Structure 1
Amino acid sequence: NTSSDQNPVEVFDSVSVVNVNLTVKTEIGCTDSTSLSIETFGLPEAEIVGETNVCVGEVALLEGTLLSGEPGGSVSWTGGPVDCTDCLITNASPTVTTTYMLSVIDGNGCETVEEYEVYVRNAVAAVIDLGQDTFACVNEGVQLNLEIDQSLVSIAWSTDEDGLSCYQNCPNPLASPEGLTTYQVEVTNVDGCKSIDSVTVDIIDDSREFVTDDPVICKGDSVSLNVDYGTSPQWTSEEFLACDDCPEIQVSPDTNALYFVQVLSENGCTIHDSVEVVVQEPMPVEAGGDEVACINEGTELIGTGTGQASWSPADLASQPNDFQTQVNPTETTMFFLTVDDGVCQNRDSLLVEVLTSAEVFAEGGLVCLGDTIELTGEGLAEDLLWYDNDENIIGTGTALPLVPRESEEITLVGVLNGCDSDTAYVSVEVIHSPVFGYPESITLVPEVSFQILPSVDSTQGYTFEWSPADGLSCADCPDPYVSLTDEKTFSVEIFDPLTGCSTTEDIEFKVRTRCNGDLFTVPNAFSPNQDGRNDEIFVYSAFIGNFTSWRVFDRWGAEVFNTTDMGQGWNGSYGGKSLPPGVYAYIIESICPIDGTTFYKAGDITLIR
């Protein structure tokens, strides 16, 4: 194509590159030429999809799509009211049937315009209102309130956002978002008209510390817990609370305890806090054991504990704020040691007894002859000294073991430095054990029964225990019968229940097949002093039926006793008069039960007064 116009206009109907030549000729015939390369671009392509039929007041969603064109351009909606004029996707709110136009200019500056008609029918959409944007407290929810002016067919909340308690047909769901969230609702009325609204819910975190720092208290003490922020406090705990809705509470737990409290913040949010009361046991305190001090001497007190010490009465202590101090009371005084470890105070006490002299007590008692008795002494003394009747020291300390041979009185002296000594007296009564005077040895012939007779007739309530029991007619009587074929030794324990004393005697039995003096046994001494023990002397033998006589002579050969009854004893007298102490001779005559011959036994007896 050619043109003689200075500024020609050319419409290109295809995408191409065209070279244009320009030739200029002057009036005098001079010419000049130049050329220009023109590149043509295709128009951008776009389309619109969306609602074509809406109600009055209903929102129509218009979605523009760029099908082709150079990137970097712009879009623009015209023709009617829209939410966003330079967005590809927008909401239109026509009140009458309206044709909307979408102008698309691409990066090459090429423009295309697409039209889209939205028909508005004769029905009115519901007017809805979700109100102003709101907030929810952290870990709490907020109720959304949808206000509507007419009857509805359905309510649908967008499921693109989590956190609603209900999404279908609920006008007032509870919203519990995790962060800033916009919730949209679509309402459809009986005419099929839809209305859309949205509300943004933000999250407010009013969490903070608002109660007392964790306190440490001593067991048995109380502490105040205070709320310094918020309103409407509500306390909870496993411990008993005198007031659970007070801003300040007084507690006194026995062990570590947690207390929980909630308040309303300035924004109306419920916020929580807690406090732990740590209960500390008082540290052990020992003031020491009770002390004894002589007047004007004083004594040293040594206490133990952890913390600051304090003695009272302080005016009687040389160093009242030290664990170790010297005190010098003039009378018996109770001293208290208080130790403060910064949390707890604990106290212990001791008694300082002030004396003018030592004080001792002793205890004696009864003891069987030959047994050991332990004398005990105690009291306020540093040293205990035991003395006998001759004022000899026989022991020291709180116990004195003693084997007395006769009743006596023992003296205990208590010595306390700085004080006068004290004396206590104890009596030790020696009780003689029961004595029955059984013979030490008895000779028998085989299989001849013999009754063991004691030299004392009265048993005085004594008990007897023989061992071994084999060969005896009884094991718990004073005079059992014995029959043996072999030699054997028996023991008898004699117990006096009135005194608790006992004695044991052994009797050896010998067995002979011929007769001699060994078949008779006579004790070598006796004491006829009318004390109930060994007052008479007897002859013992298994041959009572073969006994002929027993005669006793003084040192000059005069007969002082004669009997043919072996069961009759001599009481140490002659003619009704007691004979003097001394040695007396005797002769026993008997017939041998084995061969019928006569045999004798001679010996001597010591009479003791």
Structure 2
Amino acid sequence: DSIVELTLQVVESYEEDIRVTLCNGATYEYNGVSYGESGLFDVLLMSSQGCDSIIHLQIDVVTEIIDSQEVQICTGGSYQFAGATISESGIYRDTVLSSAGCDSIIILDLQVVTTIESSESFTICEGDSVLIGGIYYSDQVILRDTFLSTQGCDSVITYEVIVQPGVQLVGSDVTICEGESVELDLQVIGSLIGPLSWSPTEDLSCSDCPNPVANPTITTIYEVSTPGCLGDTAKAEFTVVVEPNPELVTVEDQRIILGESVTLSASAEGAFTIDWYLGEDLLCTNCESILQQPQENTTYIVTAYSEFGCSAEAEVLVEISGDPCDIGAIKAPNAITPNGDGFNDAFIVNNEGDAQIILIQIFNRWGEIVFESHGEDGGWDGTIRGVAVNPGVYMYLIQADCAEIGTATLVGNVTVIR
């Protein structure tokens, strides 16, 4: 017999874990097989003892690492990227090796923030002001201010102040007399930006001019308006007060015989004074009546004035019919110059007619007798009781005896000039 001795060894199966990291697109060769995708692969192999060996192959495929960045810079600034200096907006890429040895892509979104510009306008009326940046501005101006935006870049804001012309209308009150007209003197402060409009338009020479002529019959308030600044309306008022004229009543026209005197009278309701005129010469002021002895047909003018200066005027005609006493032959001077030069030094009456002068009297303005003579002898030398009288107008009265009509009176004025 042969004895065979068998030594039996049980060989355990062999297992091994292999982990491989691949970059995207790369492959791994193992046991004649290429691997390019991530996964766990079991590879069965025959060992040297003829037993199975199991290899656990873990393939990890690393995809591209993409890193995105957004960066903002101000106009004029720059940014360092991938070893370069960049100053323009755009999308930039850079590829670097990761820790796994694969490519990593960095994407840069660079934005260049331009200067932020904005504007704001303010419209004000002439004479007003607006507060900008702590300062009041009243003139038309353009301002620029720079400040940092939220991105840290300069921002510029432009302010414009627009001044619209303002306008102010100024009126005034005026008093006129009944029947008069007046020009309304409108004062315009500033510049008109639209038409004028007057109201009421009755009794006005125009309705849109700056200085219309008003001719109201009663007291009237006129209003003028025009477009103002920023849509408002400028207005002014004129009050034209119409004062009534005195109601003047005079004596009727008179007819007298030459040499006679006549009393002319007048009255006026609402009159402050009544004055009498012969032509442009004032005969008497504040007189309701005057005594006159005209030598020819004469027209007297009487004027009544109210306290407001309003007036009423009338004429009174005195007609002369005949001169039976030849009173017109009595001549009296209307002025004397008592200065001792021998010319016109005294008031001397010249009688060239048949009437006989029986009385000559001179009166001052208060009605006092400053000279008196009975008959034609002598004359007045401009004195009273030896003292020279003041220059001025004096009234004379001459009485003459006329055989046909009796006594005739001649009245007039003489001016003493020194």
The answer to whether TM tops 0.5 is no
Shorter-chain TM-score: which interval?
A: 0.3 to 0.5
User: Which one has a larger percent strand, Structure 1 or Structure 2?
Assistant: 2
Q: Which has the higher contact order (CA 8 A, sep 6+)?
A: 2
Which TM-score applies when normalising by structure 1? 0.25
